[in-house]
Copies of this chain bind each other. A is one copy, B any other.
Amino acid sequence: MPETARRIVLASRPVGEPKPADFRLEEFPVPQPGPGQLLLRTKWLSLDPYMRGRMSDAPSYAKPVGIDEVMEAGTVSEVAASNNEKFAKGDIVLSRAGWQTHIVSDGSGLRRLDPKLAPISTALGVLGMPGMTAYTGLLEIGAPKAGETVVVSAASGAVGSVVGQIAKIKGARAVGIAGGPDKCNYVKNELGFDDCIDHRGADLAERLKAACPKGIDVYFENVSGPVWDAVFPLLSTFARIPVCGLIAQYSATELTEARYTAPQVFRAILTKRLTIRGFIVTDFAAKHGDFQRDVAQWIKEGKIKYREDIAEGLENAPQAFMGMLKGKNFGKQLVRIAE
């Protein structure tokens, strides 16, 4: 019986939080590579918050996924068949195959991975897009100096965990914000942050203030919402705020109630001489070599640790994705598609 391919397509644009009916699992015949092409079989699928943006058709930096189109994603894939002299059967590559088991590629945009250097799944996490987001946003925009205080939310996640650990490497005080005692313990005791605040409890603003007695010099913004409300009054003069995500806003159906208004934010920008700068990882593509070299070295030295949260099987990708948007994952969210 021939192998069958499977994919998950966008069935409808979510209103508010994505729900199972916004996704549809389809079967299709395994595609056959033509001359110069290769067939990729997905091993690991990456789930990342930015995908929520691709499900909407509001203007953004990337075009949305179309209705009935395969959901976008980075993958680690194995070359299952090759008519392309640059790749051999069995090669492991970083690809953007999307939420599906198979894809035909002409080889462009693929990066070959060496399984001996690092577990291949790390190409989607600490040594991939999330790690590079942390590295470039923190170092190019945040630019923490020794003794300064760096605060990052989603601190046990793929991006936040790397932000705080690099802050420590640079001699800064790292304070994380995470959801629940298990994540906070991990951030403090395993990752070595100086402190971690549970955003689920009462008095977030008070507890964050106590953890940042000298104010906040760098706030790595990836969630917005109540965490921003707690951070804002604590920002120091000349604080830098790299903005790489706004998870709390992604599924908002109406304008979020924000504690601080735009005029209040602008007043602080002026009086505290703040820098607020948005970025996406591809803006700093020229830094990819530096990132690979530094982070691989720091992992080897034990200065950067990482954690993965693994869902099993393509059919469970929607549930894992919806959970991730609510912070249910603990570490970089992956889906294992094939052994």
A contacts, CB < 8 Å to B: 59-61, 221, 224, 228, 237, 243-246, 249, 252, 255-256, 258, 260-280, 283
Q: In the complex, which residue of chain B has the Cβ closest to the Cβ of A221? A: B266
Q: Which single member of B237, B244, B262, B269 contacts A260 (CB below 8 Å)?
A: B262
Count the copies. 2
Report chain B residues within 8 Å CB of A280: 270, 273
* A243 proximity list for chain B (CB < 8 A): 266, 269-270
B61 near A271 (CB under 8 angstroms)?
Answer: yes
Contact of A263 with B270 at beta-carbon distance under 8 Å, contacts A237-B61, A276-B277, A277-B276 already known: no
Q: How far is the CA of A67 from the CA of B276 in the complex (A)?
A: 35
| Interface pair B60/A271, CB less than 8 Å apart | yes
**CA distance in complex: A283, B61 (Å):** 33
Residues of B within 8 A of A272 (CB): 61, 278
- The chain B residue sitting closest to A283, CB to CB, is B273
Complex CA gap A60/B265 in Å reads 13
Given A237-B61, A255-B261, A261-B258, A274:B266 Cβ within 8 A:
no
Among the interface residues A224, A228, A249, A266, which one has the most CB atoms of the partner chain B within 10 A? A266
Q: How far is the CB of A62 from chain B (nearest CB, A)?
A: 9
What is the chain B residue whose CB lies nearest that of A62?
Answer: B271
Q: Are B258 and A263 in contact (CB under 8 A)?
A: yes
Task: Give the docked Cα–Cα distance between A256 and B237 (Å).
Answer: 23
Contact A265 B267 (CB under 8 A): no
- Sample (8) of A-B pairs whose CB atoms are under 8 Å apart: A59-B271, A246-B266, A249-B263, A255-B261, A269-B277, A270-B278, A273-B277, A274-B277
CB distance from A51 to the nearest CB of B (A): 15
Given A261-B262, A262-B260, A263-B249: A279 in contact with B271 (beta carbons within 8 A): no
Given the complex of chains A and B, what is the CA–CA distance between A255 and B258 in angstroms?
Answer: 14
The 8 closest A-B pairs by CB, nearest first: A269-B278, A270-B278, A275-B277, A256-B263, A258-B262, A60-B271, A273-B278, A262-B262
Is there an interface contact between A224 and B273, defined as CB atoms closer than 8 Å? Answer: no
